[in-house]
Amino acid sequence: MSQYTERAEKNMGKCIDALKANFARVRTGRANAQILAPIMVDYYGQPTPITQLAGIKVPEASMLVVEPWDKSALRAIEKAIESSDLGITPSNDGTSIRLPFPKPTEERRKELVKECKELAEEARVSVRNVRRDVNGKIERDEELSDDEQSREKKAVQKITDSYVAKIEDMLKAKSAEVMEI
């Protein structure tokens, strides 16, 4: 494996990791603790990720329970969840916060699939940008002959095709999960 194909593999792998993280934030009817990861709580004047302030449990498929380690942060966590764009109303029982995840309607599931397709397209564009950058480096490498450059570009294209196929597989799996009732 050459330095160019290694660079392409590494950077395209980052594109796949970013897509996984984005897909984890797409709200299905199933509770997923990752959906709370981007929420910041005002904790003693400092914006702090909710995951650093509380344990997040999934007691059942459509319910998340947030249990703060510091009970004085309960109200701040509840306020942060309410002001987020999750669209879930938290219920505070004094020791923990319950987040019920209602099953999305057919129309909402179709919107979520469309959102997933957009995320997948962004990932494909990122993979193609990596290919373009690596091919540019290959073309500027004066130590490589024309045949070697051609071989390297073909190898990079093969890697690109495999990563685009991975993105397609991830999209199919996520779309099926979203459309599941």
DSSP H helical ranges for the chain: 3-24, 50-53, 74-83, 106-140, 146-179
Per-residue model confidence as pLDDT tens digits over 164-181: 999 999 999 999 888 876
Q: Is the pLDDT of residue 27 over 80?
A: no
**Residues 109, 175 within the same domain:** yes
**Residues 127, 172 within the same domain:** yes
Domain boundary (100, 129, 149) is at 100
DSSP H helical ranges for 25-145: 50-53, 74-83, 106-140
For residue 14, the model assigns a pLDDT of: 95
Q: How many domains does the chain have?
A: 2
Domain boundary (100, 129, 153) is at 100
- Residue 102 to residues 59, 91, 106: CA-CA distances in angstroms? 15, 14, 12
Structural Rg of the chain based on CA atoms: 22
Per-residue model confidence as pLDDT tens digits over 95-154: 999 988 877 788 888 988 999 999 999 999 999 999 999 999 999 988 988 899 999 999
Tell me the residue type at 20. Answer: K
For residue 115, the model assigns a pLDDT of: 92
